[in-house]
Amino acid sequence: MDKSSERNESKIFISNMVESSIRIGLIFVLFMFTYDIIRPFILPVIWGAIIAVALLPVTKRLQRAYGGRRGLAATTIALLGIALLVTPLVMVSGSIYDGATHALQVLQSGDVKIPGPKPSVADWPLVGGKLYDTWTLFSTNLEQAIQTFMPQIKSALTSLLGMMGGALGSVLLSILSLAIAAGFMTYSESLASGLTTIAIRTAGDNAKSWATLIAATIKSVLLGVVGVAAIQALLIGAGFFVFGVPAAGLLTLILMILCIAQLPALLAVLPVIGYMYMTQDSTTATLFTVWAVVGALSENLLKPMLMGRGVDTPMPIILIGAIGGMLVYGIVGLFLGAVILSIWYELFVWWLSIEKAQQQEELGDLLEEAKDQSESENGAGI
């Protein structure tokens, strides 16, 4: 090959590289703009798909009752889900509004009486002295105490408003996701066919196995873990509201977090039971105790009914997913994080089992070849 041919090939190579770089750059820019456009809808669509996979069997049963009308069945389930979301929100909002209104009226009337601390409080280790002084200031001169701690009060109110705004945003996101889930459930067959084609193109022959595993994981986690946690929180939280427990909405949220993390619901219930016995008569406190304990023990009945078969995700995976999801995406992340991390865990375990099966198969083939070779050598020797 002469130098002229080498120079021509070099020019062609450089030209192809530049052309490829320009094309890749344009595709990257296109993807970047596309991502910015669809980014607000990514989370609702993923959450809607998870809800659709979990509730599709229920939709099909309801479809038979409606005479084969899938759209009406999916719409009914979506509306029921929205009602279940909006009703607690209205109750919590009403409770917060009534409490804030009452507190404002008491402050305006000037008839605020805060009992002073007992002398033994000052003897508490580490925080006793400071707590005693602060408590005494609030009980003797509330106006001065408010002025003294105004920065802390403003910070607490700002955090509270931020939490309320985040909760409202999560509810709106869930409503949008339920509407999307209704559409997914209505056209599930055509969507499944298209997604199967994409999955096979992307993941190869294992795509169908992956899809089956993902669906099983979603049903198991969403119904067996998150579903049980939501039902438990609603049962016990209703008791908080019925018996007038302060901060009932916040306690219900804490209870749901504990249940999703597979921790006993009694961790959140026992302190409230103690509070009820200290502030209420024995009959009211006993009724609340029975209500709360029955709700806490309902997990033993609900899990066998709702837990999917074939998937057993460890508790730490669900805990990390729930807490991490909540930190990133708010209340919706409690559910979304647990489901997504469980899916990745099950896919990883499945991949390891496939690798192990392939290794065992290769080892079996080698042993079979060695056996055949040994038999042939023995035959030749004879």
Give residue-wise pLDDT tens across range 368-381.
776 666 666 665 55
- How many independent structural domains does the chain possess? 1
Domain that holds residue 279: 203-360
Question: Could you tell me the CA-to-CA distances from 157 to 41, 150, 218 in Å, in that order?
Answer: 31, 10, 37
Residue 115 belongs to some domain of the structure:
no
> For residues 163 and 165, what is the distance between their CA atoms, to the nearest angstrom?
5
Q: What is the pLDDT of residue 381?
A: 53
pLDDT band at 120 (very low <50, low <70, confident <90, very high): confident
Residue 13 belongs to some domain of the structure:
no
Residues 6+ apart with CB under 8 A from 159: none
Q: Is the dihedral of CA 232, 234, 235, 237 positive or negative?
A: positive
> For residues 61 and 116, what is the distance between their CA atoms, to the nearest angstrom?
61
Residue 105 belongs to some domain of the structure:
no
Among 10-19, 205-214, 342-351, whose mean pLDDT is lowest?
205-214
Contacts 24+ apart (CB under 8 A), 144-149: none
Indicate whether 382 pLDDT > 50: yes
Most confident option among 31-35, 81-85, 136-140, 307-311: 31-35
State the DSSP string of 177-203.
Answer: HHHHHHHHHHTHHHHHHHHHHHHHHHH
> For residues 330 and 324, what is the distance between their CA atoms, to the nearest angstrom?
9
Q: Is 134 left (phi over 0), alpha (psi -120 to 50) or beta?
A: alpha
Q: Radius of gyration of the chain from Cα atoms?
A: 31
Mean pLDDT of the chain: 78
Q: What is the pLDDT of residue 126?
A: 72
Q: What is the pLDDT of residue 309?
A: 47
Among 102-106, 279-283, 337-341, whose mean pLDDT is lowest?
102-106
pLDDT, mean of residues 101-116: 69
> For residues 62 and 75, what is the distance between their CA atoms, to the nearest angstrom?
11
Give the CA diameter of the chain.
Answer: 113
Most confident option among 63-67, 202-206, 209-213, 304-308: 63-67
**124: helix, coil or strand?**
coil
Q: Give me the percent of the chain exceeding a pLDDT of 90.
A: 4
> For residues 114 and 107, what is the distance between their CA atoms, to the nearest angstrom?
12
Burial of 167 (0-12, 13-18, 19+ CB in 10 A): middle
| 74 or 93, greater pLDDT | 74
**35: helix, coil or strand?**
helix
Residue 191 belongs to some domain of the structure:
no
pLDDT, mean of residues 113-123: 73
Most confident option among 154-168, 216-230, 237-251, 301-315: 237-251
| 123 or 150, greater pLDDT | 150
Q: What is the DSSP letter of 119?
A: G
**Residue 278 · residue 248 · CB < 8 Å:** no
> For residues 91 and 86, what is the distance between their CA atoms, to the nearest angstrom?
9
Q: Which two tokens stand for residue 202?
A: 């992307």
Residue 348 belongs to some domain of the structure:
yes
Q: What is the pLDDT of residue 30?
A: 92
Among 29-38, 137-146, 287-296, 304-313, whose mean pLDDT is lowest?
304-313
pLDDT band at 1 (very low <50, low <70, confident <90, very high): low
Backbone angles phi, psi at 281, to 5 degrees: -70, 165
> For residues 273 and 266, what is the distance between their CA atoms, to the nearest angstrom?
10
Crossing angle of helices 266-279 and 228-242, rounded to 10° = 10
Residue 307 belongs to some domain of the structure:
yes
Q: Is 280 left (phi over 0), alpha (psi -120 to 50) or beta?
A: beta
Q: What is the DSSP letter of 221?
A: I
pLDDT band at 29 (very low <50, low <70, confident <90, very high): very high
Most confident option among 2-6, 183-187, 197-201, 244-248: 183-187
Closest CA to 220 of 305, 301, 295: 305
Q: Is 158 left (phi over 0), alpha (psi -120 to 50) or beta?
A: alpha
Indicate whether 28 pLDDT > 50: yes
Indicate whether 36 pLDDT > 70: yes
Query: Quick check: pTM over 0.75?
Result: no
Residue 210 belongs to some domain of the structure:
yes
Give residue-wise pLDDT tens across range 48-61.
888 888 788 888 88
Type of residue at 212: T
What is the distance of C-alpha 118 from the center of its chain?
43
What is the distance of C-alpha 132 from the center of its chain?
41
Residue 270 belongs to some domain of the structure:
yes
> For residues 173 and 179, what is the distance between their CA atoms, to the nearest angstrom?
10
Tokens 């408003």, located at residue: 161
